[in-house]
Amino acid sequence: MFDRLPEYPWQQLKPYSALAAKHPGGAVDLSIGSPIDPTPAVVQQAIISSANAPGYPSTAGSLAFRNAVVEWFERRRGVTGLTEANIMPTIGSKELISFLPLFLGLGPLDAVVQPKAAYTAYAVGAALAGAQIVSEDDPELWPANAKLIWINSPGNPDGKVLDVEFLRKAVAKARSIGALLASDECYAELGWDGKWATEVIPSILDPRVTDGDISGLLCVYSLSKQSNLAGYRAAFAAGPADLVKAIVNLRMHSGMITPLPVQNAVVAALGDEAHVLAEKELYRDRRAVLLAAVREYGFEVSSSEAGLYLWATLGEDCWVTVQRMAELGIVVVPGSFYGDFSPNHVRFSITATDANIAEAAKRLRDAVSLR
């Protein structure tokens, strides 16, 4: 019963972390994308002010929470027409991703589709439900037995952004086979290159995508990245009212409730754009430093136009690159963690301190000078 899931993949990195730690300057860990900057003061104050919370919170979310999400979607994402009935809080986004196939009642005859370079939780959700997992980016190749299709924009690990034209095709195909199309959009505030440096990254709920009809669509969002709230497990989902109501009912039965202080913290975070813009500038600077050094070392950087990672390759087996980086005292993630289609890529995270990013860049450049 307990063997449906393999060992957590990051356990395989331990020998390389140990090797990196032997570097005279210690290890620079660019593997896990965990925020390291302070949680914004406005959010800390909101949770302190909500510390007296003796009663059970609403599983559906407070009205203030849901209205704040509706307002944020319109102001920051260009999504209009939502109401509080379209919104629900989640305990981080990973738990909803992992349990959604179970909530939908999927089983062995059903397929869950994920991107070819995919965040690990999509496959976990399929495994928990005993459903099939299919890795496919092309909507025309999505199988007829797909009941849940995950897209991820901007992508983790590859930082790829899906434009309105692609999203429209995805919606049409998902509806034609009767699948729920779920979009993981947790990095949407972090666009860097091309038009995404200035344009809003489109949501699956964008009216340009939906023509006003959000049936069969679900958007998942987290404040872990944009607001440094990973420790709060602060997230939400938005979709058609009947789907939201049904999922909230299942969550109510199972006690999956976002604490009221966290809900209030989300309200404060969504209402304050200043900290999001300030954090983005920190990441922009770190990304520029690391990107230049990664390219100077000889990596080809793929996609990576948004999000918190550089998706890069030296044209060799990803584990060889992981070893090569560990010998420089740098820990990166092999592309094999994200499926079978990226055997030559590794992922660098930019969620490290300025000092650590600068040190990683120095080590890469020093290695070049010694060739």
* DSSP letter, residue 212: T
Residue span(s) of the chain under CATH 3.90.1150.10 come to 9-38+275-369
The two tokens of residue 230 are 């990973």
194 phi-psi bin (left φ>0, alpha ψ -120 to 50, beta other): left
Which helix (H) or strand (E) covers residue 363, if one does? helix 354-369
Element (H, E) at 327: helix 318-327
Q: What are 226-241's pLDDT values in tens digits?
A: 999 999 999 999 999 9
Give the bridge partners for 312, in sequence order: 301, 346
What is the CB-side half-sphere exposure of residue 242 using CA atoms within 13 A?
A: 4
Using H for helix, E for strand and C for coil, what is the string for 255-290?
A: CCCCCHHHHHHHHHHHCCHHHHHHHHHHHHHHHHHH
pLDDT of residue 252: 92
Query: Comparing C-alpha atoms, which of 239, 321, 317 is closest to residue 70?
Result: 239
Q: Which element (helix H / strand E) includes 121?
A: helix 121-129
For residues 249 and 129, what is the distance between their CA atoms, to the nearest angstrom?
19
DSSP 328: T
Beta carbons of 205 and 79 less than 8 angstroms apart: yes
Indicate whether 294 pLDDT > 90. yes
Structure tokens at 59: 């599983």
Report which DSSP code applies to 189. T
Q: Note the pLDDT of residue 5.
A: 65
3: part of which helix (H) or strand (E)?
none
Q: What is the mean pLDDT of residues 327-345?
A: 96
Residue type, position 44, single letter? Q
Rounded to an integer, the average pLDDT of 246-257 is: 94
CA 107 to chain centre: 25
**What tens digit of pLDDT does each residue of 14-61 get?**
999 999 999 999 999 999 889 999 999 999 999 999 999 999 999 999
CA of 126: how far to CAs of 120, 133, 219, in Å?
A: 11, 6, 18
Q: Are 160 and 154 in contact (CB under 8 A)?
A: yes
% of residues, the chain, pLDDT over 70: 98
CATH number 3.30.930.10 given to 52-272? no
CA angle 67, 160, 241 (to 5 degrees): 30
Side by side, the strands of the sheet bearing 300-302 are 300-302, 309-313, 345-349, 333-334
Question: With 70 as the cut, is the pLDDT of residue 259 above it?
Answer: yes
The residue whose two tokens read 């300057």 is: 25
pLDDT in tens, 137-191: 999 999 999 999 999 999 999 999 999 999 999 999 999 999 999 999 999 999 9
Q: Given this model, what pLDDT does residue 3 score?
A: 63
pLDDT at 22: 96
Q: Mean pLDDT throughout 246-253?
A: 95
CB 312 within 8 A of CB 345: yes
pLDDT in tens, 67-115: 999 999 999 999 999 999 999 999 999 999 999 999 999 999 999 999 9
CA distance 57 to 44: 19
Q: What is the mean pLDDT of residues 119-141?
A: 95
What percentage of residues in the chain have a pLDDT greater than 90? 94
Fold designation for 9-38+275-369: Aspartate Aminotransferase, domain 1 (3.90.1150)
pLDDT band with cut points at 50, 70 and 90 for residue 2: low
Confidence of residue 8 (pLDDT cuts 50, 70, 90): confident
In angstroms, the CA 55 to CA 80 distance is: 33
Given a contact cutoff of 8 angstroms between Cβ atoms, the answer to whether 337 and 9 are in contact is: yes
* Band of residue 6 on the pLDDT scale cut at 50, 70, 90: low
Tokens of 93: 């986004």
Q: Does residue 1 surpass a pLDDT of 60?
A: no
Torsion 138-139-144-148 (CA) sign: positive
| pLDDT value at 136 more than 70 | yes
User: Are the C-beta atoms of 281 and 190 separated by less than 8 Å?
Assistant: no
Average pLDDT across the chain, whole number: 95
| SS3 category, 152 | strand
Which residues is 236 bridged to in the sheet?
89, 221
For tokens 């976002």, the residue is 258
The C-alpha atoms of residue 316 and residue 125 are separated, in whole angstroms, by 31
Contact at 8 Å (CB) between 137 and 168?
no
pLDDT at 371: 74
Domain with CATH 3.40.640.10 in the chain: 52-272
Which whole number is the average pLDDT over 295-321?
98
| Across 9-13, 311-315, 350-354, least confident range | 9-13
Give the per-residue pLDDT at 370: 82
Beta carbons of 230 and 35 less than 8 angstroms apart: yes
